[in-house]
Amino acid sequence: MKIEKVTEADAPALLEIYAPYVEQTAISFEYAVPSAEEFRGRIRSISAKYPYIKAVDEAGRILGYAYAGAFKARAAYDWAVETTIYVRREHRGGGVGRTLYEALERSLKAMGICNLNACIACTAQPDEHLTNDSMFFHRHMGYRLVGTFHGCGYKFGTWYDMVWMEKLIGPHTQNQPSVRFGEWTI
């Protein structure tokens, strides 16, 4: 497996990974799978400033992808990002997620990012649409729980909670250097 930059041409393959999360789970709070054109626009917009990466097997098949985006639009939040990851369901638990997140973290740290934030759907009662595996994965990756929003997402006739988790990866100094947006490498 190798880690590469995502390109707009990857949109159909990424949608193949993402669609089951939208259609069958409450992991994504989207109701409808975006079009390939909309997804290309998301890739273009995000990767202009932040890492957008994919894990590729020896046959060239994309196994998963991860990216970071702005946490909030205000300048004071520049050093914080929201992280996102999706792995082909049949490859979960095999190290793809860990490899992607470790590469994403290295890229973000090199840019000057200090805080990684993850917005994660969770449930008190796991069901066919949502387990808490994402929360457990993030905890395993060093994130800690910082807050819960109760019953804030409604999907498949069920109200789900959302948690915020964070991981601090850089120093917080008096004269913080500017983030080097768009200057990311793998």
**Strand 52-56 relative to strand 62-70, pairing:** antiparallel
Residue 108: band (very low, low, confident or very high) from pLDDT cuts 50, 70, 90: very high
Q: In the predicted model, is pLDDT for residue 85 greater than 90? A: yes
53: enclosing H helix or E strand: strand 52-56
Residues 6+ apart with CB under 8 A from 90: none
The model's confidence at residue 2, banded by pLDDT at 50, 70 and 90, is very high
pLDDT value at 91 more than 90:
no
- What are 111-168's pLDDT values in tens digits? 999 999 999 999 999 999 999 999 999 999 999 999 999 999 999 999 999 999 999 9
d(C-alpha 146, C-alpha 148), whole Å: 7
Topology of domain 2-168, CATH: Aminopeptidase (3.40.630)
pLDDT score for 77:
98
State both tokens at 66: 């991860």
Q: What is the pLDDT of residue 75?
A: 96
Structure token pair of residue 35: 């079009």
* Mean pLDDT of the region 60-70: 97
Does pTM top 0.85 for this prediction?
yes
pLDDT digits (tens, 9 = 90+) for 8-52: 999 999 999 999 999 999 999 999 999 999 999 999 999 999 999
Q: 3-state DSSP call for residue 140?
A: helix
Dihedral, 11, 16, 22, 23 alpha carbons, nearest 10: 140
On whether the CB atoms of residues 164 and 117 are closer than 8 A, the answer is yes
**pLDDT at position 135, please?**
97
Whole-number pLDDT of residue 92? 86
Kindly state the DSSP code that residue 44 receives in the 8-state scheme. H
pLDDT at 90: 82
The mean pLDDT value for 60-84 works out to 97
